[in-house]
Chains A and B, each alone.
Chain A
Amino acid sequence: MKPNSIAVVGAAETTQLGRIPNLSTIGLHADAALNAMADCGLTPKDIDGVATAGESPQGLAHYLGIRPTYADGTMVGGCSFMLHVRHAAAAINEGLCNTVLITHGESGRSRVGAPGYAMGGPASLTGQFETPYGPTGAPTWFTVPVLRYMKTYGVTVEDLANVAVIQREWAALNPRASYSDPITIDDVLASETIAWPFTKLMCCLVTDGGGALILTSAERAKDFPRKPVYILGTGEAVETPMVSQMDDFTSSRAFRDSGRKAFAEAGIRHSDVDHLMIYDAFAHLPFYGLEDLGFVKPGEAKDFIRERNTAIGGKLPMNTNGGGLSYMHSGMYGMYALQESVRQMRGIAPAQIEGAKVGVCHGVGGFFSASGTIIFSNEAP
Protein backbone atom coordinates (compact mmCIF):
# COMPACT_ATOMS: atom_id res chain seq x y z
CA MET A 1 0.00 0.00 0.00
CA LYS A 2 0.95 3.66 -0.26
CA PRO A 3 2.20 4.77 3.16
CA ASN A 4 0.04 7.34 4.91
CA SER A 5 -2.79 7.12 2.37
CA ILE A 6 -5.27 5.51 4.77
CA ALA A 7 -6.27 6.26 8.35
CA VAL A 8 -8.24 4.73 11.20
CA VAL A 9 -11.01 7.18 12.07
CA GLY A 10 -13.16 5.01 14.31
CA ALA A 11 -12.09 2.42 16.86
CA ALA A 12 -13.83 0.78 19.78
CA GLU A 13 -14.18 -2.42 21.74
CA THR A 14 -17.39 -3.92 23.04
CA THR A 15 -19.02 -2.01 25.89
CA GLN A 16 -18.04 -4.81 28.24
CA LEU A 17 -15.19 -7.31 28.14
CA GLY A 18 -14.71 -10.55 29.98
CA ARG A 19 -17.95 -12.38 30.64
CA ILE A 20 -20.84 -11.19 28.48
CA PRO A 21 -23.56 -13.87 28.62
CA ASN A 22 -26.24 -11.48 27.35
CA LEU A 23 -24.74 -11.14 23.86
CA SER A 24 -24.25 -13.73 21.15
CA THR A 25 -21.27 -13.78 18.83
CA ILE A 26 -22.97 -11.64 16.18
CA GLY A 27 -24.24 -9.38 18.95
CA LEU A 28 -20.65 -8.77 20.08
CA HIS A 29 -19.70 -7.82 16.50
CA ALA A 30 -22.63 -5.40 16.40
CA ASP A 31 -21.94 -3.85 19.82
CA ALA A 32 -18.34 -3.16 18.81
CA ALA A 33 -19.41 -1.87 15.38
CA LEU A 34 -21.98 0.52 16.84
CA ASN A 35 -19.42 1.81 19.33
CA ALA A 36 -16.89 2.37 16.53
CA MET A 37 -19.48 4.18 14.40
CA ALA A 38 -20.40 6.38 17.37
CA ASP A 39 -16.70 7.05 17.89
CA CYS A 40 -16.47 8.68 14.46
CA GLY A 41 -20.03 9.95 14.01
CA LEU A 42 -21.08 7.55 11.25
CA THR A 43 -24.13 5.35 10.74
CA PRO A 44 -24.46 2.09 8.81
CA LYS A 45 -25.49 4.10 5.71
CA ASP A 46 -22.05 5.69 5.67
CA ILE A 47 -20.22 2.36 5.53
CA ASP A 48 -19.59 0.88 2.07
CA GLY A 49 -17.03 -1.80 2.91
CA VAL A 50 -17.10 -4.62 5.47
CA ALA A 51 -14.52 -7.11 6.64
CA THR A 52 -14.74 -9.73 9.35
CA ALA A 53 -13.62 -13.17 10.46
CA GLY A 54 -15.57 -15.72 12.46
CA GLU A 55 -18.83 -14.28 11.16
CA SER A 56 -19.33 -13.91 7.40
CA PRO A 57 -19.16 -10.45 5.83
CA GLN A 58 -22.65 -10.98 4.45
CA GLY A 59 -23.93 -11.89 7.90
CA LEU A 60 -22.35 -8.78 9.36
CA ALA A 61 -23.62 -6.49 6.58
CA HIS A 62 -27.15 -7.82 6.83
CA TYR A 63 -27.26 -7.65 10.61
CA LEU A 64 -26.07 -4.04 10.68
CA GLY A 65 -28.05 -2.88 7.65
CA ILE A 66 -25.00 -2.12 5.51
CA ARG A 67 -25.06 -2.35 1.71
CA PRO A 68 -21.36 -2.68 0.86
CA THR A 69 -19.51 -2.50 -2.44
CA TYR A 70 -16.57 -4.31 -0.82
CA ALA A 71 -16.63 -7.44 1.37
CA ASP A 72 -13.64 -9.29 2.81
CA GLY A 73 -14.10 -12.59 4.63
CA THR A 74 -10.42 -13.42 4.97
CA MET A 75 -10.10 -15.91 7.82
CA VAL A 76 -6.58 -16.94 8.82
CA GLY A 77 -7.14 -17.04 12.57
CA GLY A 78 -6.40 -14.37 15.15
CA CYS A 79 -4.49 -12.01 12.87
CA SER A 80 -7.28 -11.92 10.26
CA PHE A 81 -8.01 -8.32 11.30
CA MET A 82 -4.49 -7.20 10.44
CA LEU A 83 -5.05 -8.65 6.97
CA HIS A 84 -8.43 -6.92 6.81
CA VAL A 85 -6.73 -3.58 7.51
CA ARG A 86 -4.20 -4.25 4.80
CA HIS A 87 -6.80 -5.32 2.25
CA ALA A 88 -9.09 -2.43 3.14
CA ALA A 89 -6.27 0.04 2.59
CA ALA A 90 -5.68 -1.39 -0.87
CA ALA A 91 -9.40 -1.44 -1.63
CA ILE A 92 -9.93 2.20 -0.63
CA ASN A 93 -6.91 3.27 -2.66
CA GLU A 94 -8.24 1.31 -5.63
CA GLY A 95 -11.64 2.99 -5.35
CA LEU A 96 -13.60 -0.16 -4.48
CA CYS A 97 -15.11 1.63 -1.48
CA ASN A 98 -14.57 4.66 0.75
CA THR A 99 -15.24 3.64 4.33
CA VAL A 100 -14.53 0.15 5.64
CA LEU A 101 -15.83 -1.36 8.88
CA ILE A 102 -13.76 -4.23 10.29
CA THR A 103 -15.33 -6.17 13.15
CA HIS A 104 -14.51 -8.92 15.59
CA GLY A 105 -16.79 -10.53 18.13
CA GLU A 106 -16.31 -13.76 19.99
CA SER A 107 -18.14 -15.40 22.82
CA GLY A 108 -15.00 -17.31 23.78
CA ARG A 109 -16.01 -17.89 27.38
CA SER A 110 -19.80 -17.90 27.46
CA ARG A 111 -20.07 -19.63 24.06
CA VAL A 112 -23.32 -17.87 23.12
CA GLY A 113 -23.96 -18.48 19.43
CA ALA A 114 -20.30 -19.39 18.97
CA PRO A 115 -19.59 -21.06 15.64
CA GLY A 116 -16.36 -22.83 16.70
CA TYR A 117 -13.31 -23.33 14.54
CA ALA A 118 -13.05 -25.65 11.58
CA MET A 119 -9.80 -27.58 12.08
CA GLY A 120 -10.31 -29.74 9.01
CA GLY A 121 -11.76 -33.21 9.18
CA PRO A 122 -9.90 -36.50 9.55
CA ALA A 123 -9.07 -36.54 5.82
CA SER A 124 -7.41 -33.11 5.87
CA LEU A 125 -3.64 -33.09 6.13
CA THR A 126 -3.87 -31.84 9.70
CA GLY A 127 -6.46 -34.54 10.40
CA GLN A 128 -4.22 -37.24 8.98
CA PHE A 129 -0.81 -36.13 10.19
CA GLU A 130 -1.33 -34.22 13.44
CA THR A 131 -4.73 -34.82 15.06
CA PRO A 132 -4.21 -38.59 15.60
CA TYR A 133 -1.40 -37.85 18.08
CA GLY A 134 -3.60 -36.06 20.58
CA PRO A 135 -3.46 -32.28 20.22
CA THR A 136 -6.66 -30.80 21.61
CA GLY A 137 -6.45 -27.13 20.78
CA ALA A 138 -4.16 -24.16 20.99
CA PRO A 139 -2.40 -25.12 24.28
CA THR A 140 -1.18 -28.41 22.83
CA TRP A 141 -0.58 -27.27 19.24
CA PHE A 142 0.88 -23.79 19.44
CA THR A 143 3.36 -24.84 22.09
CA VAL A 144 4.95 -27.76 20.25
CA PRO A 145 8.00 -25.92 18.83
CA VAL A 146 9.07 -24.21 22.04
CA LEU A 147 11.44 -26.82 23.50
CA ARG A 148 13.54 -26.65 20.33
CA TYR A 149 13.65 -22.87 20.62
CA MET A 150 14.56 -23.06 24.31
CA LYS A 151 17.34 -25.59 23.75
CA THR A 152 18.78 -23.67 20.80
CA TYR A 153 19.03 -20.37 22.66
CA GLY A 154 19.30 -21.39 26.29
CA VAL A 155 15.89 -20.04 27.21
CA THR A 156 14.49 -21.23 30.55
CA VAL A 157 10.98 -21.74 31.89
CA GLU A 158 11.70 -18.76 34.14
CA ASP A 159 12.15 -16.67 30.97
CA LEU A 160 8.75 -17.80 29.71
CA ALA A 161 7.20 -17.03 33.09
CA ASN A 162 8.79 -13.60 33.08
CA VAL A 163 6.70 -12.61 30.06
CA ALA A 164 3.53 -13.29 32.02
CA VAL A 165 4.86 -11.35 35.02
CA ILE A 166 5.71 -8.25 32.97
CA GLN A 167 2.40 -8.28 31.15
CA ARG A 168 0.59 -8.47 34.46
CA GLU A 169 2.45 -5.31 35.48
CA TRP A 170 1.03 -3.57 32.41
CA ALA A 171 -2.43 -4.99 33.12
CA ALA A 172 -2.34 -3.45 36.59
CA LEU A 173 -2.49 -0.03 34.89
CA ASN A 174 -5.54 -1.02 32.83
CA PRO A 175 -8.97 -0.90 34.53
CA ARG A 176 -10.48 -3.11 31.81
CA ALA A 177 -7.91 -5.89 32.21
CA SER A 178 -9.28 -9.28 33.25
CA TYR A 179 -6.44 -9.85 35.73
CA SER A 180 -4.49 -7.14 37.46
CA ASP A 181 -3.13 -8.62 40.70
CA PRO A 182 0.70 -8.78 40.70
CA ILE A 183 2.28 -12.19 40.09
CA THR A 184 5.82 -13.50 40.45
CA ILE A 185 7.82 -15.95 38.37
CA ASP A 186 7.25 -18.51 41.13
CA ASP A 187 3.48 -17.93 40.92
CA VAL A 188 3.56 -18.57 37.18
CA LEU A 189 5.63 -21.73 37.55
CA ALA A 190 3.43 -22.98 40.40
CA SER A 191 0.21 -22.61 38.43
CA GLU A 192 -1.27 -25.77 36.93
CA THR A 193 0.82 -27.40 34.23
CA ILE A 194 -1.28 -27.50 31.06
CA ALA A 195 1.14 -28.73 28.44
CA TRP A 196 4.63 -29.00 29.87
CA PRO A 197 6.59 -26.73 29.89
CA PHE A 198 3.57 -24.39 29.77
CA THR A 199 1.68 -23.60 32.94
CA LYS A 200 -1.73 -21.98 33.08
CA LEU A 201 -0.41 -18.45 33.59
CA MET A 202 1.71 -18.78 30.42
CA CYS A 203 -1.50 -19.39 28.44
CA CYS A 204 -4.00 -16.79 27.28
CA LEU A 205 -7.30 -16.05 28.93
CA VAL A 206 -10.60 -17.20 27.48
CA THR A 207 -13.06 -14.32 27.54
CA ASP A 208 -15.94 -12.68 25.64
CA GLY A 209 -15.62 -9.47 23.70
CA GLY A 210 -15.23 -7.72 20.41
CA GLY A 211 -13.77 -4.74 18.64
CA ALA A 212 -14.21 -2.73 15.47
CA LEU A 213 -12.22 -0.35 13.32
CA ILE A 214 -13.34 2.13 10.67
CA LEU A 215 -10.90 3.11 7.95
CA THR A 216 -11.04 5.74 5.24
CA SER A 217 -8.64 7.76 3.12
CA ALA A 218 -6.17 9.99 4.92
CA GLU A 219 -7.58 12.89 2.94
CA ARG A 220 -11.10 12.36 4.33
CA ALA A 221 -9.82 11.43 7.77
CA LYS A 222 -9.13 15.07 8.63
CA ASP A 223 -12.88 15.75 8.70
CA PHE A 224 -13.57 13.26 11.51
CA PRO A 225 -13.87 14.15 15.19
CA ARG A 226 -10.98 12.02 16.43
CA LYS A 227 -7.31 12.47 15.70
CA PRO A 228 -6.64 10.18 12.71
CA VAL A 229 -4.24 7.28 13.11
CA TYR A 230 -2.39 6.78 9.85
CA ILE A 231 -1.28 3.49 8.40
CA LEU A 232 2.40 3.62 7.51
CA GLY A 233 3.04 0.07 6.43
CA THR A 234 1.42 -3.35 6.24
CA GLY A 235 2.51 -6.93 5.81
CA GLU A 236 0.91 -10.34 5.65
CA ALA A 237 2.21 -13.87 5.21
CA VAL A 238 1.17 -17.48 5.55
CA GLU A 239 3.32 -20.54 6.10
CA THR A 240 1.54 -23.80 6.95
CA PRO A 241 -1.58 -24.90 8.82
CA MET A 242 0.51 -27.68 10.42
CA VAL A 243 2.80 -26.55 13.20
CA SER A 244 4.84 -29.73 12.72
CA GLN A 245 5.71 -28.56 9.21
CA MET A 246 7.18 -25.15 10.09
CA ASP A 247 10.45 -24.54 8.25
CA ASP A 248 12.23 -23.72 11.48
CA PHE A 249 11.02 -24.34 15.04
CA THR A 250 13.10 -21.45 16.35
CA SER A 251 11.66 -18.79 14.06
CA SER A 252 8.40 -18.14 12.23
CA ARG A 253 8.75 -17.64 8.49
CA ALA A 254 5.34 -15.95 8.42
CA PHE A 255 6.47 -13.48 11.11
CA ARG A 256 9.66 -12.68 9.20
CA ASP A 257 7.95 -12.21 5.85
CA SER A 258 5.09 -10.13 7.20
CA GLY A 259 7.32 -7.93 9.33
CA ARG A 260 9.86 -7.34 6.57
CA LYS A 261 7.15 -6.21 4.18
CA ALA A 262 5.55 -3.85 6.70
CA PHE A 263 8.84 -2.22 7.69
CA ALA A 264 9.84 -1.81 4.04
CA GLU A 265 6.53 -0.17 3.18
CA ALA A 266 6.69 2.14 6.16
CA GLY A 267 10.29 3.08 5.46
CA ILE A 268 11.12 3.18 9.15
CA ARG A 269 13.93 1.79 11.26
CA HIS A 270 13.38 -0.30 14.37
CA SER A 271 14.71 2.55 16.48
CA ASP A 272 11.78 4.69 15.25
CA VAL A 273 9.26 2.40 16.98
CA ASP A 274 7.82 3.81 20.20
CA HIS A 275 5.24 1.15 20.99
CA LEU A 276 4.90 -2.52 20.11
CA MET A 277 2.12 -5.08 20.24
CA ILE A 278 3.01 -8.75 19.69
CA TYR A 279 0.07 -11.12 19.81
CA ASP A 280 0.69 -13.22 22.93
CA ALA A 281 -1.63 -16.18 22.92
CA PHE A 282 1.15 -17.97 24.81
CA ALA A 283 4.27 -16.73 26.59
CA HIS A 284 6.70 -17.84 23.87
CA LEU A 285 5.22 -15.65 21.13
CA PRO A 286 6.90 -12.39 22.17
CA PHE A 287 10.29 -14.14 21.89
CA TYR A 288 9.59 -15.19 18.31
CA GLY A 289 8.04 -11.81 17.51
CA LEU A 290 10.90 -9.68 18.85
CA GLU A 291 13.45 -11.74 16.94
CA ASP A 292 11.53 -12.37 13.72
CA LEU A 293 10.53 -8.71 13.37
CA GLY A 294 14.19 -7.78 13.76
CA PHE A 295 14.05 -5.84 17.03
CA VAL A 296 16.75 -8.16 18.35
CA LYS A 297 18.91 -10.89 16.83
CA PRO A 298 17.93 -14.57 17.07
CA GLY A 299 18.40 -15.75 20.64
CA GLU A 300 18.57 -12.26 22.12
CA ALA A 301 14.92 -11.86 23.11
CA LYS A 302 15.45 -13.58 26.48
CA ASP A 303 18.02 -11.00 27.59
CA PHE A 304 16.03 -8.15 26.07
CA ILE A 305 12.99 -9.15 28.12
CA ARG A 306 15.04 -9.96 31.26
CA GLU A 307 16.53 -6.48 31.09
CA ARG A 308 12.97 -5.11 31.18
CA ASN A 309 13.15 -3.34 27.82
CA THR A 310 9.52 -4.30 27.13
CA ALA A 311 8.29 -3.47 30.64
CA ILE A 312 7.01 -0.23 32.15
CA GLY A 313 9.73 2.38 31.70
CA GLY A 314 11.60 0.23 29.13
CA LYS A 315 12.78 1.47 25.77
CA LEU A 316 10.34 -0.69 23.78
CA PRO A 317 7.03 -0.85 25.70
CA MET A 318 5.24 -4.01 24.54
CA ASN A 319 1.71 -5.33 25.06
CA THR A 320 0.79 -2.33 27.17
CA ASN A 321 -2.84 -3.40 27.59
CA GLY A 322 -1.72 -6.52 29.49
CA GLY A 323 -1.90 -8.71 26.40
CA GLY A 324 -3.71 -11.93 25.77
CA LEU A 325 -2.19 -13.25 28.98
CA SER A 326 -3.83 -10.66 31.28
CA TYR A 327 -6.04 -8.19 29.38
CA MET A 328 -8.42 -10.39 27.44
CA HIS A 329 -8.36 -13.13 24.80
CA SER A 330 -11.57 -14.10 23.10
CA GLY A 331 -9.95 -16.57 20.70
CA MET A 332 -8.93 -14.23 17.90
CA TYR A 333 -7.01 -11.60 19.85
CA GLY A 334 -5.61 -9.61 16.91
CA MET A 335 -8.39 -7.02 17.08
CA TYR A 336 -7.49 -6.12 20.69
CA ALA A 337 -3.84 -5.66 19.77
CA LEU A 338 -4.94 -3.28 17.01
CA GLN A 339 -7.24 -1.41 19.41
CA GLU A 340 -4.37 -0.86 21.86
CA SER A 341 -2.11 0.39 19.06
CA VAL A 342 -4.79 2.87 18.01
CA ARG A 343 -5.34 4.02 21.61
CA GLN A 344 -1.60 4.58 22.01
CA MET A 345 -1.45 6.59 18.78
CA ARG A 346 -4.47 8.62 19.86
CA GLY A 347 -2.83 9.26 23.23
CA ILE A 348 -5.69 7.79 25.26
CA ALA A 349 -4.38 4.40 26.41
CA PRO A 350 -4.65 3.59 30.12
CA ALA A 351 -0.88 2.95 30.14
CA GLN A 352 -0.12 5.74 27.69
CA ILE A 353 3.44 5.96 26.35
CA GLU A 354 4.19 9.67 26.40
CA GLY A 355 5.02 11.08 23.01
CA ALA A 356 4.54 7.80 21.12
CA LYS A 357 4.47 8.50 17.38
CA VAL A 358 5.02 5.12 15.73
CA GLY A 359 3.44 1.83 16.76
CA VAL A 360 3.95 -1.68 15.38
CA CYS A 361 1.14 -4.21 15.77
CA HIS A 362 2.02 -7.79 14.94
CA GLY A 363 -0.42 -10.68 14.88
CA VAL A 364 -0.37 -14.43 14.48
CA GLY A 365 -3.03 -16.69 13.02
CA GLY A 366 -3.48 -20.36 13.73
CA PHE A 367 -0.36 -21.92 15.24
CA PHE A 368 2.33 -19.86 13.47
CA SER A 369 0.22 -20.48 10.33
CA ALA A 370 -0.28 -16.88 9.31
CA SER A 371 0.82 -13.43 10.24
CA GLY A 372 -0.15 -9.80 9.77
CA THR A 373 1.75 -6.64 10.69
CA ILE A 374 0.40 -3.09 10.74
CA ILE A 375 2.56 -0.03 11.41
CA PHE A 376 0.69 3.03 12.66
CA SER A 377 1.63 6.66 13.08
CA ASN A 378 -0.19 9.65 14.52
CA GLU A 379 1.76 12.20 12.52
CA ALA A 380 -0.12 13.72 9.59
CA PRO A 381 1.48 12.92 6.23
Chain B
Amino acid sequence: MPPRILPVPTPETRHFWDGCREGELRLQRCTRCDGGVYFPPRPFCPRCGGREVEVFKASGKGVLWSYVINMRPRPDMGTEPHAIAVVKLEEGPTMMTNIVGCPQTPEALQLDMAVQVAFARQNDEISLPLFEPVKG
Protein backbone atom coordinates (compact mmCIF):
# COMPACT_ATOMS: atom_id res chain seq x y z
CA MET B 1 0.00 0.00 0.00
CA PRO B 2 1.43 3.40 -0.92
CA PRO B 3 1.95 5.84 1.97
CA ARG B 4 -1.10 7.89 2.88
CA ILE B 5 -1.38 11.24 1.12
CA LEU B 6 -0.71 13.76 3.87
CA PRO B 7 -1.12 17.51 4.25
CA VAL B 8 1.81 19.89 3.92
CA PRO B 9 1.37 22.70 6.47
CA THR B 10 1.91 26.31 5.43
CA PRO B 11 2.85 29.21 7.73
CA GLU B 12 -0.84 30.14 7.99
CA THR B 13 -1.96 26.64 8.99
CA ARG B 14 1.04 25.57 11.08
CA HIS B 15 -0.74 26.18 14.40
CA PHE B 16 -3.49 23.75 13.41
CA TRP B 17 -1.13 20.90 12.58
CA ASP B 18 1.07 21.64 15.60
CA GLY B 19 -2.10 21.36 17.68
CA CYS B 20 -3.04 18.02 16.17
CA ARG B 21 0.45 16.69 16.91
CA GLU B 22 0.05 17.85 20.52
CA GLY B 23 -3.45 16.39 20.86
CA GLU B 24 -5.41 19.64 20.57
CA LEU B 25 -7.96 20.64 17.95
CA ARG B 26 -7.24 24.31 17.37
CA LEU B 27 -9.68 26.70 15.74
CA GLN B 28 -9.61 30.46 15.24
CA ARG B 29 -12.01 33.26 16.08
CA CYS B 30 -12.24 36.97 15.42
CA THR B 31 -11.78 39.38 18.28
CA ARG B 32 -12.83 42.41 16.23
CA CYS B 33 -16.33 41.65 14.95
CA ASP B 34 -18.60 38.99 16.35
CA GLY B 35 -16.07 36.57 17.74
CA GLY B 36 -17.16 34.13 15.06
CA VAL B 37 -15.27 30.84 14.88
CA TYR B 38 -13.93 29.89 11.47
CA PHE B 39 -12.10 27.13 9.63
CA PRO B 40 -9.93 26.38 7.66
CA PRO B 41 -7.13 28.44 9.20
CA ARG B 42 -6.16 31.89 7.92
CA PRO B 43 -4.65 34.89 9.68
CA PHE B 44 -7.72 37.10 9.32
CA CYS B 45 -11.47 36.93 9.82
CA PRO B 46 -13.41 35.83 6.71
CA ARG B 47 -16.43 37.79 7.90
CA CYS B 48 -14.94 41.25 8.55
CA GLY B 49 -11.44 41.02 7.07
CA GLY B 50 -9.88 42.01 10.38
CA ARG B 51 -6.48 40.66 11.30
CA GLU B 52 -7.31 40.63 15.02
CA VAL B 53 -7.85 36.91 15.44
CA GLU B 54 -6.88 34.32 18.02
CA VAL B 55 -6.24 30.61 18.09
CA PHE B 56 -8.01 28.60 20.77
CA LYS B 57 -8.38 24.99 21.82
CA ALA B 58 -11.72 23.64 20.60
CA SER B 59 -13.78 21.04 22.45
CA GLY B 60 -13.10 18.36 19.85
CA LYS B 61 -16.80 17.48 19.96
CA GLY B 62 -19.30 17.55 17.16
CA VAL B 63 -21.88 15.58 15.25
CA LEU B 64 -21.70 13.53 12.07
CA TRP B 65 -23.05 15.93 9.45
CA SER B 66 -22.83 14.01 6.16
CA TYR B 67 -20.77 11.36 4.40
CA VAL B 68 -20.40 8.90 1.57
CA ILE B 69 -18.91 5.42 1.81
CA ASN B 70 -16.23 5.09 -0.82
CA MET B 71 -16.49 1.56 -2.20
CA ARG B 72 -13.36 1.97 -4.33
CA PRO B 73 -10.82 3.33 -1.84
CA ARG B 74 -7.85 5.29 -3.04
CA PRO B 75 -4.81 2.99 -3.01
CA ASP B 76 -3.25 4.76 -0.02
CA MET B 77 -6.47 4.33 1.98
CA GLY B 78 -6.39 0.53 1.99
CA THR B 79 -8.80 -1.91 0.40
CA GLU B 80 -11.88 -1.74 2.63
CA PRO B 81 -14.76 0.67 1.92
CA HIS B 82 -14.63 3.67 4.21
CA ALA B 83 -16.58 6.80 4.95
CA ILE B 84 -15.46 10.20 3.73
CA ALA B 85 -17.27 12.28 6.29
CA VAL B 86 -17.96 15.83 7.36
CA VAL B 87 -18.49 16.64 11.04
CA LYS B 88 -20.10 19.77 12.35
CA LEU B 89 -18.09 20.95 15.31
CA GLU B 90 -19.69 22.20 18.53
CA GLU B 91 -18.14 25.60 17.79
CA GLY B 92 -19.85 25.82 14.39
CA PRO B 93 -17.44 25.04 11.55
CA THR B 94 -17.65 21.90 9.44
CA MET B 95 -14.60 19.74 8.74
CA MET B 96 -13.89 16.81 6.43
CA THR B 97 -12.57 13.74 8.22
CA ASN B 98 -12.88 9.97 8.60
CA ILE B 99 -14.95 8.26 11.27
CA VAL B 100 -13.03 5.60 13.18
CA GLY B 101 -13.94 3.12 15.92
CA CYS B 102 -17.12 1.89 14.26
CA PRO B 103 -18.12 -0.16 11.22
CA GLN B 104 -18.14 1.75 7.96
CA THR B 105 -21.79 1.04 7.27
CA PRO B 106 -24.94 3.13 6.93
CA GLU B 107 -26.31 1.38 10.02
CA ALA B 108 -23.37 2.38 12.19
CA LEU B 109 -22.93 5.82 10.68
CA GLN B 110 -26.06 7.71 11.69
CA LEU B 111 -26.29 11.39 10.89
CA ASP B 112 -26.29 13.65 13.95
CA MET B 113 -24.62 11.06 16.16
CA ALA B 114 -22.15 12.59 18.63
CA VAL B 115 -18.51 12.25 17.71
CA GLN B 116 -15.24 13.36 19.26
CA VAL B 117 -11.83 13.96 17.82
CA ALA B 118 -9.30 11.10 17.85
CA PHE B 119 -5.87 12.07 16.58
CA ALA B 120 -4.18 9.55 14.32
CA ARG B 121 -0.41 9.93 14.27
CA GLN B 122 1.07 9.61 10.78
CA ASN B 123 4.66 10.78 11.35
CA ASP B 124 6.64 13.16 13.55
CA GLU B 125 4.93 16.18 12.01
CA ILE B 126 1.42 15.13 11.06
CA SER B 127 -1.39 13.70 13.11
CA LEU B 128 -4.78 13.69 11.38
CA PRO B 129 -7.88 14.80 13.29
CA LEU B 130 -10.19 11.81 12.84
CA PHE B 131 -13.44 11.40 14.77
CA GLU B 132 -15.00 8.51 16.68
CA PRO B 133 -18.48 7.97 18.08
CA VAL B 134 -18.92 9.17 21.67
CA LYS B 135 -19.45 6.05 23.79
CA GLY B 136 -22.56 5.61 25.90
What residues of chain B lie closer than 8 Å to A148, measured between beta carbons? Answer: 65-66, 111
**A153 within 8 Å of B by Cβ?**
no
Residues 73-89 of B at the A interface (beta carbon under 8 Å): 73-74, 77, 81-82, 84-86
Assembled-state Cα–Cα distance A122/B66 (Å): 24
> Is B98 in contact with A133, judged by CB distance below 8 angstroms?
yes
What residues of chain A lie closer than 8 Å to B95, measured between beta carbons? Answer: 129, 244
Assembled-state Cα–Cα distance A140/B6 (Å): 18
The dominant DSSP class at the A interface is mixed
**B40 within 8 Å of A by Cβ?**
yes
Residues 1-27 of B at the A interface (beta carbon under 8 Å): 4-10, 13, 17
What residues of chain A lie closer than 8 Å to B67, measured between beta carbons? Answer: 144, 147
**B59 within 8 Å of A by Cβ?**
no
**B128 within 8 Å of A by Cβ?**
yes
Chain B interface size band reads: 35 or more
> Is A132 in contact with B128, judged by CB distance below 8 angstroms?
yes
- B118 CB to closest chain A CB (Å) equals 13
**B106 within 8 Å of A by Cβ?**
yes
**B72 within 8 Å of A by Cβ?**
yes
Proximity bits, A222-251, B CB within 8 Å = 1, else 0: 000000000000000000001111000100
Stretch at the interface among A20-28, A192-200, A372-380: A192-200
Number of A-B residue pairs having CB atoms within 8 Å of each other in the complex: 108
Proximity bits, A359-380, B CB within 8 Å = 1, else 0: 0000000000000000000000
Contact among A122, A123, A129, A196 for B96, CB-based, below 8 A? A129
**B71 within 8 Å of A by Cβ?**
yes
Assembled-state Cα–Cα distance A356/B122 (Å): 58
Assembled-state Cα–Cα distance A197/B13 (Å): 33
- B124 CB to closest chain A CB (Å) equals 16
* Closest residue on chain A to residue B82 by CB atoms: A134
Assembled-state Cα–Cα distance A135/B8 (Å): 17
**B113 within 8 Å of A by Cβ?**
no
What residues of chain B lie closer than 8 Å to A196, measured between beta carbons? Answer: 68-69, 71, 81, 106
> Is A193 in contact with B71, judged by CB distance below 8 angstroms?
yes
Contact among B13, B65, B68, B98 for A195, CB-based, below 8 A? B68
Contact A123 B8, CB 8 Å, known A129-B96, A144-B86: yes
**B31 within 8 Å of A by Cβ?**
no
- A34 CB to closest chain B CB (Å) equals 38
What residues of chain A lie closer than 8 Å to B97, measured between beta carbons? Answer: 133
What residues of chain A lie closer than 8 Å to B111, measured between beta carbons? Answer: 147-148, 151
**A131 within 8 Å of B by Cβ?**
yes
Contact A143 B7, CB 8 Å, known A125-B40, A132-B128, A196-B106: no
Which of A133, A135, A192, A194 has the most B CB atoms < 10 Å from its CB? Answer: A133
> Is A134 in contact with B68, judged by CB distance below 8 angstroms?
no
Contact A134 B7, CB 8 Å, known A125-B40, A140-B84: no
- A316 CB to closest chain B CB (Å) equals 28
**A130 within 8 Å of B by Cβ?**
yes
> Is B40 in contact with A128, judged by CB distance below 8 angstroms?
yes
What residues of chain B lie closer than 8 Å to A122, measured between beta carbons? Answer: 5-8
Proximity bits, A133-172, B CB within 8 Å = 1, else 0: 1111000100111111001000000000000000000000
Assembled-state Cα–Cα distance A122/B94 (Å): 20
Assembled-state Cα–Cα distance A136/B94 (Å): 20
What residues of chain A lie closer than 8 Å to B39, measured between beta carbons? Answer: 129, 245
> Is A121 in contact with B106, judged by CB distance below 8 angstroms?
no
> Is A195 in contact with B70, judged by CB distance below 8 angstroms?
yes
- B43 CB to closest chain A CB (Å) equals 13
What residues of chain A lie closer than 8 Å to B66, measured between beta carbons? Answer: 144-148, 249
Proximity bits, A194-220, B CB within 8 Å = 1, else 0: 111110000000000000000000000
New A-B pairs, 15, CB < 8 Å, besides A144-B86, A244-B95: A123-B8, A123-B10, A125-B13, A128-B8, A131-B5, A132-B7, A133-B85, A133-B96, A133-B97, A134-B98, A135-B70, A136-B72, A151-B111, A151-B112, A249-B86
**28 residue pairs bridging A and B, Cβ less than 8 Å apart:** A121-B8, A122-B5, A122-B8, A123-B7, A123-B10, A127-B7, A128-B17, A129-B7, A129-B95, A132-B5, A132-B128, A133-B128, A134-B82, A135-B70, A136-B72, A140-B84, A144-B84, A144-B96, A147-B68, A148-B65, A151-B111, A192-B71, A194-B72, A195-B84, A196-B71, A243-B96, A244-B96, A249-B65
Chain A interfacial positions (CB closer than 8 Å to B): 121-123, 125, 127-136, 140, 143-148, 151, 192-198, 242-245, 249
Chain B interfacial positions (CB closer than 8 Å to A): 4-10, 13, 17, 39-40, 65-74, 77, 81-82, 84-86, 94-98, 106, 111-112, 128
